[in-house]
Structure 1
Amino acid sequence: MRRRDFFKNGLLTTVGFSVLGSRPIIAKPNHYAADKAKNIIFLVSDGMSSGTLNMADLLMRHKLGKASNWISLYESGTVRRSLMDTASANSFVTDSAAAGSAWGGGNRVNNGSLNIGPNGEEYRPILQKFKEEGKAVGCVTSVQITHATPASFCVNQNSRNSMPQIAVDYLKLKFDVMMGGGREFFDPSKRSDGRDLYSEFEGNGYEVVKDKSEMLNATGTKPVLAVFSEDGLPYAIDRENNEELKKSIPSLAEMTKKGIELLSKNQNGFVMQVEGGKVDWAAHGNDASALLYDQVDFDEAVGVAMDFAMKDKNTLVIITTDHGNANPGLFNPGPKNVRFESIFDSKCSNEFLLGQIKKETSASQVIDMVNHYQNVTLEKEEASLLLKNFTVGENGLYNTNNLPVEVFGKILSKHNAISWAHTNHSADFVELAAFGPRSENLPGFVKNYELHNFLLEASGVKRSLFASV
C-alpha cells in the first residue's frame, strides 16, 4: 500500500498533529488510588457515528502508522465499554441540547431544551452540583462555549438558541474554566443589547483570554474565560494548514491540557466536559476531510485526558458521543484503498474550499481547486453540477453561508469512497467508554440520562444531589 509523508510542514500542506497523548495506551493499572473519583473528565465527540470512529482509526493507522487512542483503549482492554441509548423525551432522534441535558440534568427533555422538562420542570445541571461540592468545574469545546453541549452541563434554558442569555448565565455561575468560540455573544459590538460581557467577566474576577498564547500563559489565579473565534473554531484541517490560525487558535488537545492544568489546582478535585463539537458540524455538511481530521483532533484530547488519568489514578474518564450524525461509511475504496487515501493529502475542509468559489469561477477552475486542495480530480460535469447548485444550497445552523455542502459531499463520495446516509442525526446506539474509579460499575448498555447519577455516585457526592428519574 502506498504511504504518504504525514509530516510535511508549511502553509496548506498535509495536516499534522503532534500534541501530547498520541501514543497508544497498552496497559491498565492494577488499582486506583481511591474507591471514588476525585476528578472527572467527560469527553464528547459530538455527532460521532460509529463509521466516523472507524474511518478516523483507519486514517491514523495507515497515514500515521499508529492506532487512534480510542480504539487502542479497546484493543488493550484498558476501558470499560458500553452502548448508550441517546433518545430525547419527544423523539428517538435527539439533538445535542436534549442529549446533553440527559447527562447534565439526569432527565430526558424535549429536543431544543436545556435542562427544562416537558412540563416546565427545572433540573439542576450537574456542574452546578459539583461546584457546590467544592470542586473546580469547566468546559472546553471546539464550537461556541454557549453552544448546546457545554450549556447542557451548566444552565437551564427553554431554548438552546438563547446563546446571548447563556453567556450572561455563565457570568452568574462563575465556573472556573470556559474555553471555546462564540465571540459574538460576549463582544458589545456584536450583542443586540450592547453589553460588554468581556468587561463584566473581568469585573467578576475572571481572566479573559482571546488567543492561544494568552491561554497558555494563564496561571489559574483567577477563573478563565477563553473565547478564540467569532463562531465555532476553525475545522482542525483548516487550522493545521494555516500558520496564522495555528498561532492563534489552540487545538482541542491543547485546550484540554490547559484546562486540566488550571482545574487540578483545586485540592477537592475537578469536573470538566470536553467537546469535539465540529465533528457534528462536519457530519451535517457531509464533509469527509473536516469530519475525520476533527475526529483525530478529538482523539488527541482523549490521549491528553488518559495520560493525566493513568498517572493520577483518581480520575474517572468518560469517552462518548451524544448521538450519531449522517452515518458515514467507507465503501469500495478501490485498488490498494487509493480512493480513501485521497483523504490523506486533503488540505482543507469542503466548507473552506466552497468558500473560495465565486460567481465568476469556471468549471475548469473548480476542477483545478479541488485537485489542489483535496487531491481529487472532478469530471467537468461534476464541476458544472456543483456550480449550478450554489444558488440552491442548504440553510440552517451548520451552513449559514448557504453553500451546496450536501451536493459537494455526494460528488466527492465517488472519489474518496466515503458515503453518507443523511445530513442529520440518527437514532443509533453509540459508543461509551469509561476508565478510572467506579468505571467497573458501568453496565454494558445504558440510557443517556443514567450517566448523571453514575457520575455523582462515582464521585461519592451526597445522595440529595442525585437526579430524580
Structure 2
Amino acid sequence: MDRRKFLKGSALLSGLFTISPLELWSSKRNTEQLHSGSAKNIIFMVSDGMSLGTLSMADLYSRNILGKGSNWLNLYHDQKVSRALMDTASASSIVTDSAAASSAFGGGIRVKNGVLNMGANGEKHLPIWQKFKKAGKKAGCVTTVTITHATPAGFCVNSAQRNAEPQIAEMYAELELDVLMGGGDEFFNPEKREDKKDLYAVYRKKGYQVLKERNHLKDIKKGEKIIGVFSTGALPYSIDRTSLPDFKNTPTLAEMAKTAIDQMKDHPGGFVLQVEGGKVDWSAHANDVAALIHDQLAFDEAVKTVMDFAEKDGNTLVIITTDHGNANPGTIYGTDATKKFNSISDYKYTNEYILNQIHKDFSVKDIKDWIYEGNQLALNDDEAKHLLSFYNGLEKEEGLYNYKKLPFKLYSDIQKNRNSVGWISMDHSGDYVEVAVYGPGSQLLKPFIKNTDLHDLMLKASPL
C-alpha cells in the first residue's frame, strides 16, 4: 500500500470529522437560503424563438468546435438551477407570437397574438416592470433587436398593436425606465420618424445619457438613466459582427447586460432587468444555421455574465428561458453527420449577408465562387442556376423579416445536404420549451408550467 496516499486520505477524513455539526448545518442552511427567501433583484433572460434543437446545437457546436460546454447546459450539469418545461400557448392559439408570449410573462395573463398586455375587451393589465418600478426598484431591458420590439415591450407597456413601435418609444420615456439598450434608431431619430419628433431630445431632457456606439459604454456616468440605440433596425447578427469591420463598434448582448447590471446593482431597492437574444428568433425564421448558432452562443455568453453576478450577489433571481420555439431545427442522422455538422465552423457570414451580395448580373460561376468563399460550399451548376432565378425575377420567397425576398429556404435546403441540419418550417412552433431558474425563489418552480406562471413566480420571489 502507498503510505503517502494512506496518510493523505487519513488527513482528509480527520479534517472531515473535526467539522462540528453546527458548521455542517450552517453550510446546508447557506445553500438553502440561496434558493429561498426574497429576491432583491430579478434578471429575466429570453432567447427569443429558441427551440430545444437550437439549444442542443449550440451546445454541440461549443463542445465540438470551441472545446467547452455551453454555459446554459453547464448549469444543468452542475445542478445549479431548478428546471422545468413550459407551455407557451397564447389566448388565441397553441402557437404564440412574441407579443402574447411576453405579455404572459409581463402581464400575467394570456392575451391574443399581436397585442401587449391587453385583454379581449380592451382591459389593460399592468406590466410587471411597472409594478416593480412603482415599488422602488430600478428597471431595464436590453435586446439585440429593436428596444421597442415585442419582447421588451411586453414587460413594460400596454398596446393594442405590437407594431406601434414609434408610440412604444414614447411610452418608455413617460415610464422613465432606467436602462434601455438595443436597436431601433428609426423610432427615436427625428430624421427617420414620420412625425419628426426628436425622442432623443425628450430622453435627454428627462436626464438620460444617450449612447450610440459600443465605445460609449466606457463613458457612462454612474447613477444616470441610459438609453443605448446602436443601429437602425435590429443589431447585426453575431457572426457578421465578428467578421465584418462595419459592425465592430456594436456591443454584444453580454456587454449590454453587464453595463445594465453595473448601472443598477447599487440601488438600495434592487433592480429588475430583461435580457433578450432577439435575433435567435430572426435567424430561425430565415433557417440560417450559422446566424442561429452564433446568436445562441452570444446569448450564452450573456448567461455567463448574468450568472457571474448572481452567484456573487446572492440576492438575485435569474430566469433563463425562451418565449416559444421556432422552426424546430435539428441534426439529421446519416453518413458523416458529425463531420458535416462541424463544417458549419467554416461559415464566415450569415446567409442574409451572403444572399444580399448576389445580384442579377452574377454568372453561375460568380455565384459558385462567392458561396465557396462565404461558406466553403461547392455548389453544382443546377444549384447555382436555381439561386440565380430568384434574382432574375423568375421566383420569389416570402417570410417574416425577409424584407428583400431573399431565397432563404432554397439556400438552407442546399446547406442541409452538406451540414446535416434540417428545419420543420420557417415560423414559430408550439412545442414545450426549457426554463432554468437560479437564486432566491427558484424552489417555487414546478416541473411543468404555463408561461403565466413565471409572472407569478417573480412576484412571489420578490413581493411588492
The alignment's TM-score, normalised by the length of structure 1, stands at: 0.90
Report the residue type matching 1:414 in the other structure. N
1:182 aligns with 2:184: yes
RMSD: 1.4
Shift of 1:380: 1.5
SS of structure 1 residue aligned to 2:258: helix
* CA 70–277 in structure 1, closer or farther in 2 if over 3 Å, else same: same
CA distance in 2, matches of 1:332, 1:29: 46
The structure number with the bigger radius of gyration is 2
CA distance in 1, matches of 2:286, 2:227: 29
Q: How do residues 331-346 of structure 1 correspond to structure 2 at under 5 angstroms?
A: 331-332=332-333, 334-335=335-336, 337-346=338-347
Moved more, 386-395 or 147-156: 386-395
Q: Does the aligned pair in 1 maintain the 2:183–2:231 contact within 8 Å? A: yes
CA distance in 2, matches of 1:348, 1:195: 36
Shift of 1:333: 5.8
1:127 aligns with 2:129: yes
Shift of 1:401: 1.6
SS of structure 2 residue aligned to 1:393: coil
1:400 aligns with 2:403: yes
Q: Partner of 2:197 in structure 1?
A: 195
Q: Partner of 2:295 in structure 1?
A: 294
Aligned mate of 1:70, from 52, 69, 72: 72
Shift of 1:396: 5.0
Shift of 1:29: 7.2
CA distance in 2, matches of 1:133, 1:149: 22
* CA 279–333 in structure 1, closer or farther in 2 if over 3 Å, else same: farther
Q: Partner of 1:380 in structure 2?
A: 381
Deviations 1:113-148 (A, max 9, x none): 000011211100000000011111000000000000
CA distance in 2, matches of 1:198, 1:393: 39
Shift of 1:336: 6.8
Shift of 1:205: 1.1
Q: Does the aligned pair in 2 maintain the 1:29–1:310 contact within 8 Å? A: no
Aligned mate of 1:427, from 422, 425, 430: 430
Q: Does the aligned pair in 1 maintain the 2:108–2:455 contact within 8 Å? A: yes
* CA 219–287 in structure 1, closer or farther in 2 if over 3 Å, else same: same
Report the residue type matching 2:446 in the other structure. P
Deviations 1:355-407 (A, max 9, x none): 10011011221111111111221122111111113434334541112211111
* CA 29–331 in structure 1, closer or farther in 2 if over 3 Å, else same: farther
Q: Partner of 2:362 in structure 1?
A: 361
Matched positions, count? 433
Report the residue type matching 1:427 in the other structure. G
SS of structure 2 residue aligned to 1:199: helix
CA distance in 2, matches of 1:393, 1:41: 42
Q: Does the aligned pair in 2 maintain the 1:236–1:290 contact within 8 Å? A: yes
Q: Does the aligned pair in 1 maintain the 2:325–2:428 contact within 8 Å? A: yes
SS of structure 1 residue aligned to 2:43: strand
CA distance in 2, matches of 1:216, 1:445: 42
Aligned mate of 1:437, from 437, 440, 455: 440
1:272 aligns with 2:273: yes
SS of structure 1 residue aligned to 2:311: helix
CA distance in 2, matches of 1:397, 1:169: 26
Q: Does the aligned pair in 2 maintain the 1:239–1:249 contact within 8 Å? A: yes
CA distance in 1, matches of 2:456, 2:38: 14
Q: Does the aligned pair in 2 maintain the 1:333–1:340 contact within 8 Å? A: no
SS of structure 2 residue aligned to 1:30: helix
Report the residue type matching 2:112 in the other structure. N
CA distance in 2, matches of 1:200, 1:436: 37
Report the residue type matching 1:100 in the other structure. S
Q: Does the aligned pair in 2 maintain the 1:333–1:339 contact within 8 Å? A: no
Aligned mate of 1:212, from 189, 210, 214: 214
Deviations 1:394-440 (A, max 9, x none): 34541112211111111111111111000000010000000000101
1:160 aligns with 2:152: no
Shift of 1:70: 0.6
SS of structure 2 residue aligned to 1:172: helix
Report the residue type matching 1:325 in the other structure. N
Shift of 1:284: 0.2
| Unaligned stretches of 5+ residues in structure 2 | 1-28
Report the residue type matching 1:68 in the other structure. S
Report the residue type matching 1:256 in the other structure. A
1:313 aligns with 2:314: yes
Q: Partner of 1:40 in structure 2?
A: 42
Q: Partner of 2:87 in structure 1?
A: 85
Q: Does the aligned pair in 1 maintain the 2:223–2:264 contact within 8 Å? A: no
Q: How do residues 97-108 of structure 1 correspond to structure 2 at under 5 angstroms?
A: 97-108=99-110
Q: Partner of 2:328 in structure 1?
A: 327
* CA 286–29 in structure 1, closer or farther in 2 if over 3 Å, else same: farther
CA distance in 1, matches of 2:397, 2:97: 19
CA distance in 1, matches of 2:223, 2:109: 35
Moved more, 409-418 or 132-141: 409-418
CA distance in 2, matches of 1:220, 1:186: 23
Report the residue type matching 2:156 in the other structure. C
CA distance in 2, matches of 1:50, 1:362: 39
CA distance in 2, matches of 1:212, 1:32: 38
CA distance in 2, matches of 1:192, 1:220: 34
% identical aligned pairs? 51
Q: Partner of 2:458 in structure 1?
A: 455
SS of structure 1 residue aligned to 2:318: strand
CA distance in 1, matches of 2:211, 2:30: 37
Q: Partner of 1:3 in structure 2?
A: none
CA distance in 2, matches of 1:368, 1:32: 59
SS of structure 1 residue aligned to 2:72: helix
Moved more, 338-347 or 83-92: 338-347
* CA 58–333 in structure 1, closer or farther in 2 if over 3 Å, else same: farther
Q: Does the aligned pair in 1 maintain the 2:44–2:320 contact within 8 Å? A: yes
The alignment's TM-score, normalised by the length of structure 2, stands at: 0.91
* CA 151–394 in structure 1, closer or farther in 2 if over 3 Å, else same: farther
Report the residue type matching 2:48 in the other structure. D
Report the residue type matching 2:371 in the other structure. V
Aligned mate of 2:228, from 226, 229, 235: 226
CA distance in 1, matches of 2:231, 2:307: 27
CA distance in 2, matches of 1:336, 1:444: 33
